[in-house]
Amino acid sequence: MLIIAGHIHVDPADGAQFLADLKELAMAARKRPGNSAYGAAMEDPRAGRLLISERWTDQAALSAHLDAAETVAFVNRWQGRMQGDVRKFDASNERGLMDT
């Protein structure tokens, strides 16, 4: 499993539009094979800071999402207007939060 997590920053004046566009992308991503979670939340509206969290079964599923027309269009629309530190992590031995 791959976990995508991090922060994205946009101009606070663009926050509402960015979230609206991201919501559309998220709805498409959640329907893609291999996606088990796709979420974003505005952590600090005054700073334009969002939290990003995704889970994909494997690199092929993530790559298909990154190559999808909706994703490419979103990136093209926001490129140069968003900055961030979003990372990809390999995860194994997944279990419940309270499991030891």
Distance CA(15)–CA(37), nearest Å, equals: 22
How many residues does this entry show for the chain?
100
How do residues 8-63 score in pLDDT, each as one tens digit? Answer: 999 999 999 999 999 999 999 999 999 999 999 999 999 999 999 999 999 999 99
Residue 6 makes CB contacts below 8 A (sequence gap 6+) with 51, 52, 84, 85, 86, 87
Question: Which of the four pLDDT bands, split at 50, 70 and 90, describes residue 93?
Answer: confident
Distance in angstroms (rounded) separating the CA atoms of residues 3 and 58: 9
Please tell me the distance from the alpha carbon of residue 34 to that of residue 46, in angstroms, as a whole number: 34
CA distance linking residue 17 with residue 2, whole number of Å: 28
pLDDT at 23: 95
Q: Which domain holds residue 59?
A: 13-36+55-92
Q: Is residue 85 part of a domain?
A: yes
- Is there a domain that residue 100 lies in? no
Provide the whole-model pTM. Answer: 0.89
Q: Does 99 fall in a domain?
A: no
Residue 6 lies in a domain: no
Domain assignment present for 21? yes
78 within some domain: yes
Cα distance from N-terminal residue to C-terminal residue, the chain: 19
Is 44 within a domain? Answer: no
* pLDDT tens per residue across span 60-85: 999 999 999 999 999 999 999 999 99
pLDDT in tens, 39-54: 999 999 999 999 999 9
The count of domains in the chain is: 1
Question: Is residue 1 situated within a structural domain?
Answer: no
Query: Per-residue pLDDT for 100 more than 90?
Result: no
